[in-house]
């Protein structure tokens, strides 16, 4: 079932006086700048990820600021910028159009002339979202701050990764934690589908030189073949292989070091919450059994954080609160705090 998002849920209408994690920060003083992109236009299954940023924000004051793994790097400031109203407004408009395209396709197996026009309109709107995220990320990077994005569905970080690709001339890697390979070419006709994000990353003019995927357990033959054709450039740690290693008594520490060793010096982390076991994200758009435990994911981040490599940016996406879902936001806020913390530590902030 897909719920139509409303435009009455922007973070600006949150109930708290403080910022995210109840930190009294400002854009000027903070070293990590978070951008909310409440967007789920091409969501194909469950809806609600456009409400993810608000759910994470609302749950965030619960997170204790002292962290046993990295102490108190939050003192460098994690600031959530005011939301660009374009995202929520356009998301509401385009999601209805995208659903009509999906419905036409599902019912007839092809697209009518009218649906093709609608599809074109959706694709143009999605390209505008990517462009806004790109411009925003460029401006954060120009201030020598670390960009973090809160989705929305997984189509949202493309513009951020594009900005980093240009800054580093492709000399960085993407650590992609997800249930899905997200390597589909224009899924359901949508150029900027959530299911195409990493394919679109690979298609960037200056693409990151390495993509390392973890937790992947839902993918089609086309995606599997694409991974095999791009050996060296793409390393996929399928959930099946990771679990087999664990069942045969390899330690998770060993698996994590293998994963992190594949990454270059500079790392962007793209974290789809459905990489975790569904018990940690019951309302996410496309949950899949299996996946990482919360601690396996945070341990992987800690191995990365202690490796001497640098987190140059990150996103957390596909968190959806559901009907009365405080839990998804709670898990999301805690994972976001870990991402912010390791990004701060690996950039030498807060030491």
Q: Which residue in the block uniquely carries the two structure tokens 């997170």?
A: 63
Query: Smaller CB distance to Mn ion: residue 94 or 281?
Result: 281
Query: Smaller CB distance to Mn ion: residue 198 or 345?
Result: 198
Least Å distance between CB 52 and Mn ion? Answer: 13
Chain-centre distance for alpha carbon 295: 18
Which uninterrupted H or E stretch holds 238? Answer: strand 234-238
- Rg, C-alpha atoms of the chain: 19
Q: Which residue in the block uniquely carries the two structure tokens 């462009």?
A: 131
Binding segment for Mn ion (CB under 5 A), chosen from 105-113, 166-174, 264-272, 298-306, is 264-272
What CA–CA distances, in Å, run from 192 to 136, 153, 199, 225?
A: 18, 11, 10, 21
Binding segment for Mn ion (CB under 5 A), chosen from 40-48, 125-133, 137-145, 179-187, is 179-187
Query: Smaller CB distance to Mn ion: residue 99 or 196?
Result: 196
Q: How many residues contact Mn ion, by CB under 5 A?
A: 5
What is the spatial distance between Cα 236 and Cα 19, in angstroms, rounded to a whole number? 36
Helix runs in the chain, H state only: 52-59, 85-108, 113-142, 158-167, 197-202, 221-229, 239-247, 252-261, 294-305, 326-346
Q: Choose, by CB under 5 A, the member of 153, 272, 315, 328 that binds Mn ion.
A: 272
Cβ neighbour number for residue 171 with a 10 Å cutoff: 14
Least Å distance between CB 287 and Mn ion? Answer: 9
Query: Smaller CB distance to Mn ion: residue 197 or 311?
Result: 197
Binding segment for Mn ion (CB under 5 A), chosen from 28-36, 202-210, 267-275, 329-337, is 267-275
Q: Choose, by CB under 5 A, the member of 274, 321, 332, 342 that binds Mn ion.
A: 274
180 binds Mn ion (CB under 5 A): yes
Least Å distance between CB 286 and Mn ion? Answer: 6
What is the spatial distance between Cα 277 and Cα 289, in angstroms, rounded to a whole number? 6
- Per-residue binding string, Mn ion, 137-176, x by CB under 5 A, is ----------------------------------------
Q: What are phi and psi of 270, to 5 degrees?
A: -110, 110
Least Å distance between CB 135 and Mn ion? Answer: 26
Query: Smaller CB distance to Mn ion: residue 65 or 185?
Result: 185
- Residues at the contact surface with Mn ion, assessed by CB under 5 A: 178-180, 272, 274
């Amino acid at each position: 079932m897909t719920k139509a998002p409303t435009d009455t849920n922007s973070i600006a209408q949150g109930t708290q006086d403080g910022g995210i994690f109840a930190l009294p920060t400002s854009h000027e003083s903070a070293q990590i700048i978070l951008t909310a992109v409440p967007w789920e236009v091409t969501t194909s299954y469950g809806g609600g990820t456009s409400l993810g940023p608000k759910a994470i924000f609302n749950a965030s004051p619960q997170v204790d600021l002292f962290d046993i793994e990295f102490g108190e790097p939050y003192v460098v400031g994690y600031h959530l910028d005011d939301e660009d109203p374009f995202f929520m407004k356009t998301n509401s408009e385009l999601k209805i159009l995208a659903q009509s395209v999906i419905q036409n396709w599902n019912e007839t197996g092809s697209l009518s002339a009218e649906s093709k026009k609608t599809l074109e309109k959706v694709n143009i709107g999605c390209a505008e979202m990517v462009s806004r995220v790109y411009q925003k990320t460029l401006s954060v990077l120009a201030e020598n701050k670390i960009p973090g994005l809160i989705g929305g569905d997984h189509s949202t970080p493309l513009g951020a990764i594009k900005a980093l690709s240009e800054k580093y001339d492709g000399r960085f890697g993407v650590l992609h934690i997800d249930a899905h390979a997200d390597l589909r070419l224009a899924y359901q006709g949508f150029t900027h589908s959530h299911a195409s994000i990493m394919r679109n990353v690979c298609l960037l003019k200056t693409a990151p030189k390495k993509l390392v995927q973890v937790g992947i357990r839902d993918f089609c033959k086309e995606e599997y073949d694409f991974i095999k054709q791009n050996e060296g450039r793409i390393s996929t740690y399928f959930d099946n292989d990771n679990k087999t290693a664990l069942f045969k008594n390899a330690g998770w520490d060993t698996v994590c070091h293998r994963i992190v060793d594949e990454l270059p010096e500079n790392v962007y982390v793209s974290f789809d919450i459905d990489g975790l076991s569904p018990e940690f994200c019951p309302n996410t758009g496309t949950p899949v059994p299996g996946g990482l435990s919360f601690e396996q994911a945070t341990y992987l981040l800690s191995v990365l954080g202690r490796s001497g490599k640098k987190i140059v940016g990150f996103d957390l996406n596909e968190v959806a609160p559901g009907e009365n879902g405080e839990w998804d936001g709670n898990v999301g806020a805690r994972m976001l705090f870990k991402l912010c913390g390791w990004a701060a530590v690996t950039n030498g902030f807060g030491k």
